[in-house]
Amino acid sequence: MSVGPRRRHRLCFLLFLLGVVPAALAQEPALPPVEAPQAMPGSQAAGPTIRVTTNEVLVPTLVEKPHGGGIVYGLKQSDFVVEDNGVPQKIHVQEELDTAPIALVIAMEEGRSGWLEFQKLNKMGPLLEMFLSDPRSQAALVGFSSVPRLIHDYTHSQEELSESLQQLEPGDGGAAILDTISYGVTLLEDQPKQYRRVLLLISEQRDHGSKHTKPAQLVAKIGRSDVLVLSVSYSPSKAEFAHDVKDSGEDRMMSMVSTLVMAVNAFKKNVAKEIAIMSGGEYMTFVGDHRFEDRIMEAAKEVRNRYLITFSPSDPSPGLHTIRVRTVEDYGAKIIARANYWRGAD
Number of domains in the chain: 2
Residues contacting 1, CB < 8 A, separation 6+? none
**Residue 125 to residue 143: CA distance in whole angstroms:** 15
Residue 298 is predicted with a pLDDT of: 86
Secondary structure in 3-state letters for 135-154: CCCEEEEEEECCCEEEEEEE
Q: What are the helix (H) ranges across 27-95?
A: none
Residue 18 is predicted with a pLDDT of: 43
Beta pairing, strands 307-311 & 319-327: unpaired
- Top pLDDT among 5 and 221 is at 221
Q: Same domain, yes or no, for 203 and 331?
A: no
Q: Same domain, yes or no, for 74 and 157?
A: no
- Phi, psi (deg, nearest 5) at residue 101: -65, 160
Q: Same domain, yes or no, for 333 and 276?
A: no
What is the pTM assigned to this prediction?
0.75
Beta pairing, strands 334-337 & 319-327: unpaired
Q: Does residue 7 form part of some domain?
A: no
What would the pLDDT profile of 315-345 be if each residue is shown by its tens digit?
Answer: 888 888 999 999 998 777 889 898 888 887 7
Q: Does residue 286 form part of some domain?
A: yes
Q: Does residue 275 form part of some domain?
A: yes
Q: Does residue 9 form part of some domain?
A: no
**Residue 320 to residue 191: CA distance in whole angstroms:** 25
Q: Same domain, yes or no, for 136 and 222?
A: yes
Assess whether pLDDT exceeds 70 at residue 63.
yes
Residues in the chain: 346
Q: Same domain, yes or no, for 129 and 161?
A: yes
In the sheet where 102-109 sits, what is the strand order? 148-155, 138-144, 102-109, 196-203, 228-233, 283-285
Residue 226 is predicted with a pLDDT of: 86
Domain containing 65: what range?
A: 57-96+306-343
Q: Same domain, yes or no, for 313 and 166?
A: no
Q: Does residue 142 form part of some domain?
A: yes
Instruction: Select from 327, 300, 114, 112 the least CA-distant residue to 198.
Output: 300
Q: Same domain, yes or no, for 144 and 210?
A: yes
Q: What is the CATH number of the domain that holds 292?
A: 3.40.50.410
Please tell me which of 26-30, 97-101, 210-214, 266-270 the model is most confident about, judged by mean pLDDT.
210-214
Q: Same domain, yes or no, for 229 and 131?
A: yes
Q: Does residue 184 form part of some domain?
A: yes
Average pLDDT, the chain: 78
Q: Same domain, yes or no, for 185 and 283?
A: yes
Find the mean pLDDT for residues 260-281: 80
Q: Same domain, yes or no, for 71 and 135?
A: no
Q: Same domain, yes or no, for 282 and 153?
A: yes
Q: Same domain, yes or no, for 143 and 248?
A: yes
- Top pLDDT among 6 and 79 is at 79
Residue 145 is predicted with a pLDDT of: 95
Tell me the CA distances in angstroms from 211 to 8, 205, 206, 260, one per residue in order.
35, 17, 14, 20
**Residue 327 to residue 281: CA distance in whole angstroms:** 18
